[in-house]
């Protein structure tokens, strides 16, 4: 299948609009799934220190034979590395496990504002970018208030990855990102088993287009410039999730999916939770 279109980041890197999430795959599963995904046409792979599968992701990359320069590999580090030197050590460990000289995007996994070093963590990534060891700077689960502190310190991340789906459209967060040219990336874009894919509105739109509910939800993301990273280790779903660039949702259909945001769906609170 043709690779996904890309979005241009502030750093100049090109981020594919659709990629593979790898949580909660273990090393062996990640190796098989990443290899299959890359052979299917995926070019963006998302992992994290906390997933404990970076070695498997690296093995899948090598097995696939896809040239390094065609790939976009993202990883993330935990709270104990929120310092200049900590970020460097975290990068070296992740890059070593992945078997890569550089990563395309490095994210602070959670801000942990109680620890008070989430701005310093971003500074650590910027330093690595200046050395060419990472190609783009990112945060994950940062609220606008956390991002504002980063911006006040003179930095603008390329990407902020947040929990986002039609039931949790995060429009205030996205408006803030857009104001600064920060690309929004969605984790759990399919709603993580919340029943989103069985919602009558989603099913009706899927039937109208001859698509699956998951394809409609993923199309909702990418058509609005939100990068989605669904995880699937099922070969058929893996292929279908990428096959969303040849149809378009109408304005009315996009709006019908926004109606699913009834304010009931909760979002993990990054002022409280983090690792
Ligand atoms: P599976 O790996 O068996 O396909 P998210 O990335 O939003 O957290 O969603 C991941 C979950 O959604 C996994 O349990 C995955 O299971 C499932 N999933 C992924 N793609 C699809 C799809 N196209 N249709 C239904 N479920 C899907």
Q: What is the pLDDT of residues 16-51, one digit of tens each?
A: 999 999 999 999 999 999 999 999 999 999 999 999
Residue 29 Cβ < 6 Å to ligand 1: no
Question: How far does the centroid of ligand 1 lie from the alpha carbon of residue 175, in Å?
Answer: 27
Residue 232 Cβ < 6 Å to ligand 1: yes
Q: What is the pTM of this model?
A: 0.97
98-116 residue pLDDT tens: 999 999 999 999 999 999 9
| 6-258: CATH superfamily | NADP-dependent oxidoreductase domain (3.20.20.100)
- In contact, 173 and 162? CB cutoff 8 Å: yes
What per-residue confidence (pLDDT) applies to 136? 98
What per-residue confidence (pLDDT) applies to 265? 75
146-162 residue pLDDT tens: 999 999 999 999 999 99
Q: Where in the chain does DSSP place strands (E)?
A: 6-8, 14-16, 20-21, 44-46, 72-77, 105-108, 137-140, 159-163, 183-187, 227-228
Report the phi/psi class of residue 263: left, alpha or beta, with left for phi > 0 and alpha for psi in -120 to 50.
left
Residue 16 Cβ < 6 Å to ligand 1: no
Q: Domain residue spans in the chain?
A: 6-258
- In contact, 62 and 104? CB cutoff 8 Å: no
Question: How far does the centroid of ligand 1 lie from the alpha carbon of residue 22, in Å?
Answer: 11
């Amino acid at each position: 299948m043709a690779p996904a279109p890309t979005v241009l980041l502030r750093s100049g890197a090109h981020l594919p609009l659709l990629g593979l999430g790898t949580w909660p795959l273990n090393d062996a599963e990640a190796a098989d799934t990443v290899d299959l995904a890359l052979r299917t046409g995926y070019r963006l792979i998302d992992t994290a220190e906390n997933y404990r599968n970076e070695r498997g992701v690296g093995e899948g990359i090598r097995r696939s034979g896809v040239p390094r320069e065609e790939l976009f590999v993202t990883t993330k580090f935990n709270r104990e590395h929120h310092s200049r030197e900590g970020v460097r050590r975290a990068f070296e460990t992740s890059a070593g496990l992945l078997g890569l000289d550089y990563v395309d995007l490095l994210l602070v996994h959670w801000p942990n504002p109680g620890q008070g070093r989430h701005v310093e963590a971003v500074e650590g990534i910027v330093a690595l970018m200046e050395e060419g060891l990472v190609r783009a700077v990112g945060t994950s689960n940062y609220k606008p208030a956390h991002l504002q502190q980063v911006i006040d310190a003179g930095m603008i991340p390329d990407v902020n990855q947040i929990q986002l789906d039609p039931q949790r459209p995060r429009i205030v967060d996205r408006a803030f990102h857009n104001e600064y040219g920060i690309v929004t990336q969605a984790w759990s874009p399919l709603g993580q088993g919340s029943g989103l894919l069985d919602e009558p509105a989603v099913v009706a739109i899927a039937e109208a287009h001859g698509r699956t509910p998951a394809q409609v939800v993923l199309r909702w993301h990418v058509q609005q410039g939100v990068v989605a990273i669904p995880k699937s280790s099922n070969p058929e779903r893996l292929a279908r999730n990428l096959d969303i660039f040849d149809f378009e949702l109408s304005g009315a259909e996009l709006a019908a999916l926004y109606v699913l945001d009834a304010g009931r769906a909760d979002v993990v609170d990054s002022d409280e939770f983090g690792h």
